[in-house]
Amino acid sequence: MPDYLVQFNNISKFFGKVIALKDVTMKLRKGEIMCLLGDNGAGKSTLIKTLAGVHKPDEGEIIVDGQKITFDSPKDALDIGIATVYQDLALVSLMSVTRNFFMGREPMKGPPFFKTFDIEKANKIAAERMGQIGIDVRDPSQAVGTMSGGERQCLAISRAIYFGAKVLILDEPTSALGVHQASVVLKYIVKAASQGLAVILITHNVHHAYPVGNSFTVLNRGKSLGTYEKKDITREKLLSMMAGGEELDKLEVELKEMNRLSAQ
Amino acid sequence: MSTKSKSINTKTDSNHDERLKKVSKLKLLLNRPELGALGGAILVFIFFGIVAGDTGMFSAYGMLNFLDVSANLGIIAIAAAMLMIGGEFDLSIGSMIGFAGICIAIPAIYWGWPLWMSIVFAFSMAVLVGYFNGILVVKTGLPSFIVTLAMLFILRGATLALTRLITGRTQVPGLRVLIENDPVAWIFATDTFKWLFTWLGSMKLIALRTDGTPLATGIPPSVIWFIFLAIVTTWILMKTRYGNWIFASGGDKIGANNVGVPVGRVKISLFIGTAVAATIFATIQVLDAGSADTMRGTLKELEAIAAAVVGGCLLTGGYGSAIGAAFGAIIFGTVSMGIFYTDVDTDWFKVFLGAMMLIAVIFNNYIRRKVTESK
């Protein structure tokens, strides 16, 4: 199926006797946002790390652009264009916007052996990139610590895109943000997808995921409960699947019973 | 990835952003980590200028004296600062000084090696010790405080034990005669700008000995090394990729690792840096004194860290400056020598050192909050 940019087929990961992931399948087209939903302990972190090349899957295959691929390290994944923005964002708050943007991949100038970090060029690109997403970086040499949470998230995403990401994996990008900040970040994610990236958005917040996602995969206790196109599923259904709907239903019955007893 | 630029709130030419006008030069300067140390150094000079201006402290001889002390401390303080920015400590600097001295003296005096070979040997040992410190910290993930504290005892003990085993004593004299005609020793043992001092002496502008030669004969090698290292390390921190990696490794090692910074290699190289700086310090002192002493450099690691902290380094890493540590060393060096020119009892120096450090830490903490606080 060449129309998929990236496919993760039947991925399984075991840690000793613990089955962390079992037969998880996800397929993404260009420009698509897939939301990976799951409660705490559902295996989201393990799945991200497997997709990002930190863990090697014990079963299953990863297919990028129609070719089967194995990763030995996060760098391999990155080279192929699978970039992960973790919750900690890999930003150093004491360092400037520019120095963070180019951390580990600094543009250089000058003759061999005397190559220096081309800070002017870096400043210019960083300010330009942040400007494109509507973030007002008055001074790219200001410390990242002075930026808001949403701005930091956008900086991390923008950096991944600048360095050639084709598939963007975002780990809980909105979990630490207020409503306004979260909407800024979500808007930016949609924009990134519209430019041809495939985005995997990991979250436990259905209200953030539902408006932006094209498809939804729900993870529960290491297994996929299936992938649904947006037209095939409602927000409420997703919510109840995620929380383990039956358990909540049971709780509701129990509560009713308690109320009835205490009313007597 | 081609992206259209739309809704740009900020002008892309960072040099001409109209909102930048409001940030004055002064405020930019206030954000520099070395500002406190620079101010402190100026205050110290003003203070001694008033209190001891007429005592000879600021004669050519007096100035070279306190510059020499400052420079010696500065050489290790700069390396300690680089390591602190990289997020680690090295408490074995002082012991490394003693160890390096012995590594020069014993082969040269007892085994008949040429002096240059002993010096090369000492530097090789420094690289080994630094590498060992670094690899231990990086591989075990233990705090460098503990690892290098262990190394502090191991190195000092080994220095004492080996020296007594080989020589039967704790000092190794007799190096002075070996310095002449040695192809390497001059790098650590030559006073420079002698012609300038001879000329100044002949013009009767500086104090002379009774035989007519000037009292101050030239700039000591420590000062040249100090200035050289201050310039090179500042250049590395501000202008090179490796410099950016040092800040990143100290600021957030996991984050830095995730974006491809070789954090382990950076840290190991910085540990090698402190050990090599300790060896530069040792070589200069051993050649100057003509003898090696097993106890040389005791407590120097703490002075180096104090100077780095006064120079604006945060104890948590990721922030600081090499030039700041240099100013910190100048403050300590100037006060430790200047105190002799005043009526103050020299016992008070340590009190000053401690107080200075406390003030610096409080000041740095405030700066860090200012730098990292959200809008």
Per-residue pLDDT tens for A50-80?
888 888 888 888 888 888 888 887 778 888 8
pLDDT for the residue numbered B26? 62
Of B9, B368, B373, the CB nearest to A134: B9
Rounding to the nearest 10 degrees, give the CA dihedral for residues A103, A104, A107, A113. 130
For residue B8, what is the nearest residue in chain A, using CA coordinates? A131
Whether A91 and B252 lie within 8 Å, measured CB to CB? yes
Of B240, B256, B318, the CB nearest to A104: B256
pLDDT for the residue numbered A257? 87
Q: Which residues of B touch A147 (CB under 8 A)?
A: 374-375
Find the radius of gyration of the CA atoms of chain B.
23
Segment B326-350 shows an average pLDDT of 89
Q: What residues have CB less than 8 Å from B255, skipping those under 6 apart?
A: A88, A89, A90, A91, A92, A103, B248
Segment A77-88 shows an average pLDDT of 86
Smallest Cα distance from A114 to chain B, Å: 9
Given a contact cutoff of 8 angstroms between Cβ atoms, the answer to whether B277 and B83 are in contact is: no
The predicted-structure confidence for A232-256, as pLDDT tens digits, reads as follows: 888 888 887 877 666 777 788 888 8
- In sequence order, what are the beta bridge partners of A26? A8
Helices (H), chain A: 44-51, 74-80, 97-101, 119-132, 149-162, 179-194, 206-212, 235-242, 245-263
Amino acid sitting at position B168: G
Whether A90 and B3 lie within 8 Å, measured CB to CB? no
pLDDT for the residue numbered A246? 65
For residue B40, is pLDDT > 90?
A: no
Residue, of B205 and B287, whose pLDDT is higher: B287
Tokens of A132: 């494109």
Query: pLDDT band for position B373 (50/70/90)?
Result: low
Tokens of B230: 């201050």
For residue A24, is pLDDT > 90?
A: no
Please enumerate residues of B whose Cβ is less than 8 A from a Cβ of A.
1, 3, 5-14, 17, 19-20, 23, 239-241, 243-245, 247-248, 251-252, 254-256, 258-261, 314, 318-319, 368, 371-375
Whether A90 and B245 lie within 8 Å, measured CB to CB? no
For residue B3, what is the nearest residue in chain A, using CA coordinates? A195
Evaluated on CA atoms B360, B366, B367, B369, the torsion sign reads positive
Q: Which residues of A touch B10 (CB under 8 A)?
A: 127, 130-131, 135-138
Span of B22-31, B128-137, B275-284, B326-335 with lowest mean pLDDT: B22-31
Phi first, then psi, for residue A5 (nearest 5°) are -75, -40
Q: How far is residue A94's CA from residue B245's CA, in Å, rounded to a whole number?
A: 13
The predicted-structure confidence for A156-184, as pLDDT tens digits, reads as follows: 999 988 988 889 999 988 887 888 888 88
Q: What residues have CB less than 8 Å from B53, skipping those under 6 apart?
A: none
Segment B77-100 shows an average pLDDT of 97
Mutate to test the interface with B, among A79, A88, A91, A93 (most CBs of B within 10 A): A93
- H helices, E strands: number in chain B: 16, 2
pLDDT for the residue numbered B30? 64
For residue B320, what is the nearest residue in chain A, using CA coordinates? A94
For domain B36-369, the question of CATH label 3.30.460 is answered with no
Q: Which residues of B touch A130 (CB under 8 A)?
A: 10
Given a contact cutoff of 8 angstroms between Cβ atoms, the answer to whether B219 and B191 are in contact is: yes
Classify each residue of A24-52 as buried b or exposed e, where b means 16 or more C-beta atoms within 10 Å of its C-beta.
Answer: bebbbeeebbbbbbbeeebbbbbbbbbbb
Neighbours of A225 (CB within 10 A): 18
Whether B374 and A91 lie within 8 Å, measured CB to CB? no
Report in angstroms the alpha-carbon separations of B255 from A93, B87, B90, B336.
11, 13, 23, 41
pLDDT for the residue numbered B24? 57
Query: pLDDT band for position B266 (50/70/90)?
Result: very high
A228 touches B: beta carbon within 8 Å: no
Considering chain A, what is the average pLDDT of its residues?
Answer: 86
pLDDT for the residue numbered A2? 52
pLDDT for the residue numbered B9? 41
pLDDT for the residue numbered B17? 47
Domains of chain A: 6-92+160-263 (3.40.50.300), 95-142 (no CATH)
pLDDT for the residue numbered B27? 61
Residue, of B164 and A110, whose pLDDT is higher: B164
pLDDT for the residue numbered B349? 86
For B22: left if phi > 0, alpha if psi spans -120 to 50, otherwise beta; the answer is: alpha
Rounded to two decimals, the pTM is: 0.85
pLDDT for the residue numbered B301? 94
Phi first, then psi, for residue A134 (nearest 5°) are 75, 20
Using N-to-C axis directions, what is the helix angle for B144-167 and B115-140, rounded to 10°?
150
Segment A208-225 shows an average pLDDT of 87
Smallest Cα distance from A107 to chain B, Å: 8
Q: What residues have CB less than 8 Å from A155, skipping those under 6 apart?
A: A89, A91, A97, A100, A101, A130, A135, A144, A147
Q: How far is residue B342's CA from residue B344's CA, in Å, rounded to a whole number?
A: 5
For residue B12, is pLDDT > 60?
A: no
Q: Which residues of A touch B236 (CB under 8 A)?
A: none
Q: How far is residue B87's CA from residue B251's CA, in Å, rounded to a whole number?
A: 7
Span of A9-13, A224-228, B46-50, B79-83 with lowest mean pLDDT: A224-228
Phi first, then psi, for residue A41 (nearest 5°) are 80, 10
Of B259, B318, B373, the CB nearest to A146: B373
Q: What is the ipTM of this complex?
A: 0.79
For residue A149, what is the nearest residue in chain B, using CA coordinates? B374
A123 touches B: beta carbon within 8 Å: yes
Given a contact cutoff of 8 angstroms between Cβ atoms, the answer to whether A175 and A87 are in contact is: yes
A110 touches B: beta carbon within 8 Å: no
For residue A191, is pLDDT > 60?
A: yes
Smallest Cα distance from A238 to chain B, Å: 32
The predicted-structure confidence for B208-244, as pLDDT tens digits, reads as follows: 877 777 888 889 999 999 999 999 999 999 999 999 9
Whether A131 and B375 lie within 8 Å, measured CB to CB? no
Of B5, B9, B372, the CB nearest to A143: B372
For residue B155, is pLDDT > 90?
A: yes
The predicted-structure confidence for B175-203, as pLDDT tens digits, reads as follows: 888 888 888 888 998 888 888 888 888 88
Q: How far is residue A109's CA from residue A100's CA, in Å, rounded to a whole number?
A: 18
Coil, strand or helix: which one is A216?
A: strand
Size of chain B, expressed as the number of residues it contains: 375
Question: What residues does each domain of chain B span?
Answer: 36-369
Q: How far is residue A189's CA from residue A133's CA, in Å, rounded to a whole number?
A: 10
Tokens of A236: 């409420």
Mutate to test the interface with B, among A76, A87, A93, A94 (most CBs of B within 10 A): A94
For residue B316, what is the nearest residue in chain A, using CA coordinates? A94
Of A74, A116, A146, the CB nearest to B375: A146
For residue B2, is pLDDT > 50?
A: no
pLDDT for the residue numbered B353? 85
Query: pLDDT band for position B18 (50/70/90)?
Result: very low
pLDDT for the residue numbered B79? 98
